A and B are shown apart, each in its own frame.
Chain A
């Protein structure tokens, strides 16, 4: 797990677009590869697009509806909730 490629958020502005729009996420070892992967995954390499990539852990997001103390600062990163896992019955206790 420790060697997992980080997650990146991808923003693309089309040829005639006014602004960059979030199109999805992907994994890449660094920003340069994230841009290349974004070309391959999200634009199928259309030309004339502009791509921004931001590592997901650097994105801070508002809480959509709930407010207040439920959200500790550490939870303001969208993509890293404490891992919650339910182990299927077949494998027994872990």
Chain B
């Protein structure tokens, strides 16, 4: 694997994470439990879509085949996607959506913090912009997880169920492979495994405040970030997201 090939994979991982999660969060628009949450979720989704444009834009540039961020988002198939499985699982109830957001935001904020000192200026610049947004995402999702975990009996139960369901998807964010080794060697991005300790401390602190119990098992589903085996859910998401581009090839919108 050449450095540019690894770099492309890394950029797709970043951009596909924000693309797919942004899409999932946008599904809430008009359906949230209260107006203020509806507006806040839309802001989160908008930030993620904006970050996608930057990551996939750069991916297209590095790839050198003249593809735009839209080409990459709308014209690849499931096996080309490099997002972690966590972000493609369905929204479930509001509790699961916010728990997923929190588990991702915590990783995202730590990752972006490291990327701000990337040896690649373009990566550092995207990370600098995104990290401000994500710091707020984390603050908001963390507070909501605490509020609902330590709310009523029902909200506590639902949040624990959400955590139990999502926890097996956490480990994939810290799996390292040859792409990561290449990126770390080039000083472009950290080895994901090196983020785990900070992550566990952060997540542990918030979940304790939320009176929730982290499952014992460290079992991790994987296959998203290398595209080997996504969940069945991603294909359905893509059939919606890509429908117009696929049905009317070559049209401009």
Contact = CB atoms under 8 A, between A and B. Distances in A.
Interface of A: 5, 26-29, 32-33, 36-37, 39-41, 44-45, 47
A28 B36 contact: yes
Contacts, number: 29
Contact of B132 (A5, A28, A40, A47): A47
B136 A39 contact: yes
Contacts of B136: 39, 45
Contacts of A37: 36, 39-40
Interface string B123-144: 0000000001100100110010
The 7 closest A-B pairs by CB, nearest first: A40-B40, A37-B36, A40-B39, A40-B43, A41-B39, A26-B36, A36-B140
Nearest to B43: A40
Contacts of B132: 47
The main secondary structure of chain B at its interface with chain A is helix
Interface string B214-226: 0000000000000
Interface string B16-55: 0000000000000000001110011001000000000000
B154 to A, nearest CB: 13
A40 B36 CA distance: 8
Q: Give the bracket for the number of chain B residues in contact with chain A.
A: 10 to 19
A47 B132 CA distance: 10
Interface in B143-157: 143, 147
Contact of A5 (B34, B43, B140, B143): B34
B34 A36 contact: no
Interface of B: 34-36, 39-40, 43, 132-133, 136, 139-140, 143, 147
Nearest to A36: B140
B147 A29 contact: yes
Nearest to A5: B34
Contacts of B34: 5, 27
B134 to A, nearest CB: 12
B36 A27 contact: yes
B155 to A, nearest CB: 12
11 contacts: A26-B36, A28-B36, A36-B40, A36-B139, A36-B140, A37-B36, A40-B40, A40-B43, A41-B36, A41-B39, A45-B136
A33 B33 CA distance: 15
Contacts of A29: 147
A47 B43 CA distance: 14
Contacts of A28: 36
